[in-house]
Amino acid sequence: MQAITHFILWRLGIHQAKSSITPLERKCLLSHAAGKRSLVEVGVFEGVTTSYLRRAMAADGELTAVDPHQRGRLGFSTHNVIAHAEVDRVSNGSVRWIRSFGVDAAREYKGSRSTAVDFIFFDGDNSYNGLSALWDAWSPLVATGGLVALNDSRSSDARSIDDAGSAVFTRDVILKDSRFKVVEFVETITVLKRCHDGQPPCSADDHLRVEN
């Protein structure tokens, strides 16, 4: 019922679209997404971060927005309606919507795109198994020199999430992945860069082929 009330108040212009991303985290994401041409966000929710990423990317860029947006009591997803409206307010580049779970979306992306991802933001399943599945599915699709941003990957001063599955998997697996090196930490977000065979410095040239 709370989601329906929020949707009605959003339609009336009283409520704004919701996001869990803090202003400092948003600034971090936008600085790394700026000028990128092949972006993916896994976990759109109400499209707030999606719309910011669309503003930041290259004018000829494409942002793939992934979220199952399952139907609610009204017979449709209120989050999906809000997300589309928020993102459609931005005219920069183009947005491709994949309404499915992240692992299935990775298969669809790989089957329909020859260009590797140069920026991906994981903001969906924060369980250990959930992030593990997403990492296995999407990390091979990141271009050399491409960036990965992980939400809920570490504790911040405001949030203690060391025991969250996503934080544990980031700490125990992703930070030890030799294909990637850490760029920076901002509150709960970790940003990494893909390095060819795990050997820095990353090359900006090998940017076109998706791994088989």
Report whether pLDDT(48) > 60.
Answer: yes
Residue ranges per domain, the chain? 20-198
Q: What is the mean pLDDT of residues 36-43?
A: 98
Share of the chain above pLDDT 90, in %: 84
- In one-letter notation, the amino acid at residue 76 is F
Contact predicate 150/122, CB 8 Å: yes
Evaluate whether the domain defined by 20-198 bears CATH number 3.20.20.70. no
* Mean per-residue pLDDT of the chain: 92
Helix extents (H) in the chain: 2-11, 23-33, 48-56, 78-88, 102-112, 128-138, 165-172
In the prediction, which pLDDT does 75 show? 85
Count of residues making up the chain: 212
pLDDT in tens, 139-148: 999 999 999 9
In the prediction, which pLDDT does 113 show? 78
Report whether pLDDT(207) > 50.
Answer: no
Say which residues have a Cβ less than 8 Å from residue 182's Cβ, sequence separation at least 6: 175, 190, 191, 192
Report whether pLDDT(68) > 60.
Answer: yes
Q: With residue 39 as reference, give the H or E element that holds it.
A: strand 38-42
Instruction: Give the whole-angstrom CA distance, residue 102 versus residue 167.
Output: 18
pTM of the model: 0.90
